[in-house]
């Protein structure tokens, strides 16, 4: 299980193993961000701070993810801003 610190109990990051399937949105600084049917997937080579915001700027999730692959299942469709370290990516769910 991940050691993520989550500020919103409604959504939680979980570690995953195996091949990542989904649309790769960005790959930089050892971080890859994917999107798959209502899920944001982050693959990183080192522990990293992640924040997810609605398009209106509301914080949805804040966590420190361990190295590896983690995913966040979102129940609401929409556009989210994902900030991973120094990278910011728009994600449409």
Query: CB–CB of 81/33 below 8 Å?
Result: no
Model confidence, pTM = 0.79
* pLDDT tens digits, 27-86: 777 899 999 989 999 999 999 999 999 999 999 999 999 999 999 999 899 999 999 988
Local confidence band at 16 (pLDDT 50, 70, 90 cut-offs): confident
- Does the residue 68 lie in any domain? yes
Q: How many domains does the chain have?
A: 1
**Could you tell me the residue range of the domain that residue 31 belongs to?**
13-92
What pLDDT is attached to residue 27? 75
CATH number for the domain including 88?
A: 2.60.40.3080
Identify whether the C-beta of residue 83 lies closer than 8 Å to the C-beta of residue 53.
yes
DSSP 21-79: -SEEEEEETTEEEEEETTEEEEEESS-EEEEEEETTS-EEEEEEEPSEEEEEE-SS-SE
pLDDT at 10: 61
Q: In this predicted model, which residue has the larger pLDDT, 35 or 2?
A: 35
Residue 5 lies in a domain: no
């Amino acid at each position: 299980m991940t050691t993520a610190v989550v500020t919103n109990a409604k959504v939680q990051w979980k570690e995953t193993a195996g091949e990542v399937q989904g649309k790769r949105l960005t790959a930089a600084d050892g971080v890859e961000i994917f999107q798959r049917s209502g899920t944001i997937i982050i693959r990183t080579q080192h522990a990293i701070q992640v924040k997810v915001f609605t398009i209106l700027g509301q914080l949805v999730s804040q966590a420190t993810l361990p190295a590896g692959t983690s995913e966040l299942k979102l129940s609401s469709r929409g556009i989210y801003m994902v900030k991973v370290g120094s990278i910011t990516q728009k994600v449409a769910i």
